[in-house]
Structure 1
Amino acid sequence: MTDSLDHLRRIATILGWCALLVILFSTLSPLDLRPHIPEMGADAERFLAYLATGSMLAFAYPRQRWFVLGGVVLLALGLEWAQSWEATRHGRPHDVVVKILGTLAGGCLATSLDYLARRLRRVA
């Protein structure tokens, strides 16, 4: 079980950093270059992007989970401010709140997965 959990953490590391790169590109690129999911609002996209990043990185680095989540929250704040550098973008407090909620939900998901893995390990 430990080997498979370590393997999952390695995969989560790669996916988490890839998700972070997508966030960086999406946030700092001009609005017309920003990837989006058709039929989904911008708030849902923001929430899901930060949920994915927060959950993957928090699962990948369980001993530094709260440090990682704090870093993602600080990144969200910084990137929202950095959007003022791009003429077609704007940073709004509402957007930061959605991103922080996504990050925290991701942290809860990662914590739940670790709890479930510990419970399954005890049963096996």
Structure 2
Amino acid sequence: MTDPFDQLRRFATVLGWGALFVILFATLSPLDLRPHIPEMSADIERFLAYLAAGCMLAFAYPRQRWLVLGGMVVLALGLEWGQTLEATRHGRSHDVVVKVLGTLAGGALAISLDFLARRLRRIA
């Protein structure tokens, strides 16, 4: 019998990697090509993007959760540094903090989802 959460983890894998590719594009593209959500500050956009990617990938790869989250923190640092190479962009430490907080919040959400999944399995 297959675990019903296996399908959910596979779906989270696709969404997580998709979110990561959007982050890469948005971070390294020229400013005028960066996707933007109207009526939302750049900090909230950054936080939500890293929260989504962190949650989806940490949920998709539970055995490598800390490696995934650590890798995303390193990625945030590297991408901010990479922005200094693009003439229309700038890397800032404030942006890294927002991205790391989003990643950690996503990891906490993934841990909560796994806890809920374990509880539901026991009930069923």
Q: Which amino acid aligns with 1:93?
A: S
Q: Deviation digits for residues 34-91 of structure 1, max 9, x if unmatched?
A: 0010000000000000000000000000000000000000000000000011000000
TM-score by length of 1: 0.98
Q: Distance in 2 between the 1:35 and 1:3 partners? A: 36
* Corresponding residue pairs, total: 124
Consecutive unaligned residues in structure 2, runs of 5 or more: none
Matched residue, 1:61: 61
Q: Distance in 2 between the 1:33 and 1:116 partners? A: 39
Query: How far did residue 4 of structure 1 move?
Result: 1.6
CA RMSD of aligned residues (A): 1.0
Q: Distance in 2 between the 1:88 and 1:33 partners? A: 11
Matched residue, 1:70: 70
Runs of 4+ in 1 over 3 A off after TM superposition: none
Q: Which amino acid aligns with 1:51?
A: L
TM-score by length of 2: 0.98
Matched residue, 1:11: 11
Q: Which amino acid aligns with 2:100?
A: I
Q: Distance in 2 between the 1:2 and 1:11 partners? A: 15
**Identity across aligned pairs (percent)?**
81
The within-5 A match list for 1:39-58 is 39-58=39-58
Query: How far did residue 3 of structure 1 move?
Result: 2.6
